[in-house]
């Protein structure tokens, strides 16, 4: 293949769009990206840009032929010197884009306390990986094109060529998507689910069952220890002791109740909820001062920072209950079992409320909490913000995704002038949205939504692929790189990559909220006789609690 042949082969429009998509993929987003993630992102962007440009080129040729619009603007073939000029311009543009990215990302690196690696390690690795990923995508595209052409030829025996080509395109797309869903995505998810389910039953290396009579998995529990799952076993053997509670107590200390029903405990949501209710009754949970319903993340993990403040503020006179709905990590659970998260929350809340309604005399205060996918699932128990305010005594939601409908309602009805990242609903006191620890005041609140401005799990949304979100049109938060901007598709992909690394940073960055739930619960519970110095002393203790 001669140099001239190689020069004429690429689509000019595809090359220009590929270069533009590559430059946009280097733009800063919410968090720092490693060269590995950046390479995959840039490679996918290049392939997408080139594919789009190639499609536009083919469409233009088809329209010229069918409409008789004559030859291409530059004649049958572009002049060799013009193509050389374009190639040189694209190369210069790419070099400029990489240089600009170094300066733009420096702000994010410094904010997160990162030390930059060498230029060639970071950007050399990125460029090589991006090239490999782009070539892989383009190779797949070529195979699909060959399949489409073969199908079109078969259809052209019975139909006009243009109709056969259109039908072939639809058929190939449908077959590929159906195959990916059935044989790749679904079978992969099923395999992972089975693997994680077996792992959850393996108790090797996990702690021994609790000796407490007030915990699932203990001597007086109907929950089998192995069926509680890995995260359930961790949760049931953690938490403050009565001695630790006494160090902060304002009254008599009681051992907290912890109920955890694993996914393997019953085949159905109804069965798991029924077992949870039996555990609550067995342990005397409805005689406690407070009852906290917690929805776990996809794997069943529960953040101790979301539970222990309530146990401390009530001197241990509280029962905590949760039901596992998935074995998968949250990103995979979101794809395959988000409905199970909502179904579990709805069933558990309904059962708890029915039981409370039948009590005579004083009933426990009812609270609900969830983090990440757990907040999405927990919110499904309520029709609206007003419904949540009417049915529970308080709530704390940590890192709620954009799919959480209570958040969407708040953004829709927020007071004019308030920002999407921190909407003000009504008087701004009942529902409080905060972006950092300093935003949380001790003033009473019913529900607190913790959503950091640089948490991609909070701000990633399908709509960002084609539509600029409000939070990028409004004044940017101080935690967001001033150089960030929105571009179609690439911003969506950048946020998706950010989600993959959102837990890789220090507390109070990305999807790590540290001890912020403590301040949120203090505003919600309003514990009597607790002073701010005592809260800060408890914060120091909770900061040492591992994830």
pLDDT at residue 6, rounded to an integer: 46
Residue 505 predicted with pLDDT over 60: yes
How far is residue 265's CA from residue 434's CA, in Å, rounded to a whole number?
37
pLDDT at residue 123, rounded to an integer: 65
Residue 72 predicted with pLDDT over 60: no
Beta-carbon contacts of 350 under 8 Å, excluding residues fewer than 6 positions away, are 381
With beta carbons less than 8 A apart as the criterion, state whether 217 and 209 touch.
Answer: yes
| More confident call, 109 vs 394 | 394
Q: Which own/partner pairs from 414-421 qualify as long-range (CB within 8 Å, at least 24 positions apart)?
A: 419/470, 419/471, 419/474, 419/475, 420/469, 420/470, 420/471, 420/474, 421/451, 421/453, 421/459, 421/471, 421/474, 421/477
Neighbours of 366 (CB within 10 A): 18
Q: To 10 degrees, what angle do helices 338-357 and 269-283 make? A: 40
Neighbours of 464 (CB within 10 A): 23
Per cent of the chain over pLDDT 70 is 86
- Report the half-sphere exposure of 118 (CA within 13 A, side-chain side): 4
Report the SS3 class of residue 370: strand
Mean predicted confidence (pLDDT) in 487-497: 90
Residue 76 predicted with pLDDT over 50: no
Per cent of the chain over pLDDT 90 is 53
With beta carbons less than 8 A apart as the criterion, state whether 435 and 477 touch.
Answer: yes
Residue 122 predicted with pLDDT over 80: no
Per mean pLDDT, which of 101-105, 172-176, 491-495 is the most reliable? 491-495
Q: What is the mean pLDDT of the chain?
A: 86
Mean predicted confidence (pLDDT) in 71-89: 64
How far is residue 70's CA from residue 61's CA, in Å, rounded to a whole number?
10
pLDDT at residue 3, rounded to an integer: 44
pLDDT at residue 68, rounded to an integer: 60
Classify the phi-psi angles of 292: left when phi > 0, otherwise alpha if psi is within -120 to 50, otherwise beta: beta
Band (pLDDT 50/70/90 cuts) for residue 181 is low
b/e per residue, 495-520, with b = 16+ CB within 10 A?
Answer: bbbbbebbeebeeebbbbbebbbbbb
With beta carbons less than 8 A apart as the criterion, state whether 444 and 427 touch.
Answer: no
Mean predicted confidence (pLDDT) in 492-505: 90
Element (H, E) at 368: strand 365-371
> Tens digits of per-residue pLDDT, 254-265?
999 999 999 999
Band (pLDDT 50/70/90 cuts) for residue 1 is very low
Which two three-digit tokens encode residue 99?
């240089």
Please give the angle made by the CA atoms of 289, 392 and 449, to the nearest 5 degrees. 110
pLDDT at residue 328, rounded to an integer: 78
Residue 4 predicted with pLDDT over 70: no
Residue 134 predicted with pLDDT over 50: yes
- Nearest residue to 352 via CA among 399, 299, 295: 295
Report the SS3 class of residue 455: coil
Beta-carbon contacts of 114 under 8 Å, excluding residues fewer than 6 positions away, are 32, 108
DSSP-derived secondary structure for 259-299 = EEE-GGG-SSHHHHHHHHHHHHHHHTGGGSSEEEEEE--TT
Q: Cα Rg for the chain, rounded, in angstroms?
A: 28
Edge to edge, the sheet with strand 394-398 lists: 257-261, 318-323, 290-295, 365-371, 394-398, 447-450, 431-434
Beta-carbon contacts of 260 under 8 Å, excluding residues fewer than 6 positions away, are 216, 217, 223, 228, 232, 235, 236, 302, 321, 322, 323, 324
Report the SS3 class of residue 434: strand
Please state whether the predicted TM-score (pTM) of the whole model is above 0.75.
yes
With beta carbons less than 8 A apart as the criterion, state whether 161 and 187 touch.
Answer: no
pLDDT at residue 90, rounded to an integer: 84
What does the domain layout of the chain look like in residue ranges? 3-193, 212-452+513-542
Report the SS3 class of residue 450: strand
pLDDT at residue 160, rounded to an integer: 74
pLDDT at residue 60, rounded to an integer: 72
- Nearest residue to 470 via CA among 478, 479, 461: 461
Report the SS3 class of residue 440: coil
With beta carbons less than 8 A apart as the criterion, state whether 512 and 506 touch.
Answer: yes
> Tens digits of per-residue pLDDT, 400-434?
999 999 999 999 999 999 999 999 998 888 999 99
pLDDT at residue 218, rounded to an integer: 95
> Tens digits of per-residue pLDDT, 138-158?
888 788 778 777 887 877 777
Residue 371 predicted with pLDDT over 80: yes
Residue 121 predicted with pLDDT over 60: no
How far is residue 239's CA from residue 311's CA, in Å, rounded to a whole number?
9
DSSP category for residue 191: H
Q: Backbone phi, then psi, for 228, in 5-degree steps?
A: -70, -20
The distance of Cα 83 from the centroid of its chain, to the nearest Å, equals 43
The distance of Cα 230 from the centroid of its chain, to the nearest Å, equals 22
Band (pLDDT 50/70/90 cuts) for residue 75 is very low
Residue 74 predicted with pLDDT over 70: no
């Amino acid at each position: 293949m001669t140099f001239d042949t190689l020069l004429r082969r690429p689509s000019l429009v595809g090359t220009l769009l590929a270069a533009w998509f590559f430059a946009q993929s280097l733009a800063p987003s919410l968090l720092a990206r490693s060269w590995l993630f950046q390479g995959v992102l840039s490679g996918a962007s290049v392939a997408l840009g080139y594919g789009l440009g190639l499609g536009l080129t083919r469409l233009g040729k088809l329209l010229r032929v069918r409409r008789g619009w004559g030859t291409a603007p530059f004649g049958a073939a572009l002049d060799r010197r013009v193509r050389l000029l374009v190639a040189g311009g694209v190369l210069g543009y790419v070099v400029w884009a990489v240089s600009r990215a170094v300066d733009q990302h420096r702000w994010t690196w410094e904010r997160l306390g990162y030390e930059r690696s060498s230029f060639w390690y970071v950007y050399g690795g990125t460029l090589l990986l991006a090239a490999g990923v782009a070539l892989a995508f383009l190779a797949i595209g070529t195979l699909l094109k060959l399949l489409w052409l073969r199908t079109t030829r078969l259809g052209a025996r019975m139909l006009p060529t243009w109709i056969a080509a259109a039908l072939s395109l639809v058929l190939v797309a449908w077959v590929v998507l159906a195959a990916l869903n059935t044989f790749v995505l679904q079978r992969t998810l099923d395999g992972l689910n089975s693997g994680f389910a077996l792992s959850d039953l393996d108790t090797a290396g996990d702690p021994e069952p609790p000796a407490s009579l007030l915990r699932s998995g203990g001597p007086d529990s109907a929950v089998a220890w192995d069926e509680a799952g890995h995260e359930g076993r961790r949760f049931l053997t953690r938490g403050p002791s009565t001695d630790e509670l006494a160090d902060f107590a304002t009254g008599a200390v009681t051992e907290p109740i912890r109920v955890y029903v694993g996914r393997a405990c019953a085949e159905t949501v109804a069965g798991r909820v029924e077992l949870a209710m039996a555990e609550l009754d067995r342990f005397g949970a409805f005689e406690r001062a407070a009852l906290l319903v917690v929805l776990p993340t996809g794997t069943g993990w529960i953040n101790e920072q979301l539970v222990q403040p309530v146990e401390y503020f009530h001197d241990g006179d509280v029962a905590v209950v949760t039901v596992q709905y998935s074995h998968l990590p949250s990103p995979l659970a979101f794809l395959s079992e988000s409905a199970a998260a909502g179904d579990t929350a709805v069933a558990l809340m309904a059962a708890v409320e029915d039981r409370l309604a039948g009590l005579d005399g004083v009933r426990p205060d009812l609270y609900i909490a969830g983090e990440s996918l757990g907040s999405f699932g927990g919110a499904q128990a309520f029709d609206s913000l007003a419904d949540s305010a009417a049915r529970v005594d308080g709530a704390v939601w940590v890192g709620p995704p954009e799919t959480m409908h209570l958040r969407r309602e708040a953004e829709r009805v927020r007071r004019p002038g308030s920002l999407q990242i921190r909407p003000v609903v009504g008087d701004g006191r009942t529902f409080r949205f905060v972006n950092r620890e300093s935003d949380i005041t001790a003033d009473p609140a019913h529900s607190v939504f913790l959503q950091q401005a640089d948490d991609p799990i909070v701000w990633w949304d399908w709509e960002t692929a084609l539509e600029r979100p409000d939070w990028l049109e409004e004044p940017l938060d101080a935690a967001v790189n001033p150089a960030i901007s929105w571009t179609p598709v690439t911003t969506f992909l950048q946020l998706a990559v950010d989600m993959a690394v959102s837990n890789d940073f220090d507390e109070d960055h990305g999807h790590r909220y540290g001890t912020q739930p403590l301040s949120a619960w203090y505003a919600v519970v309003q514990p009597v006789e607790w002073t701010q110095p005592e809260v800060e002393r408890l914060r120091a203790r909770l900061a040492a609690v591992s994830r």
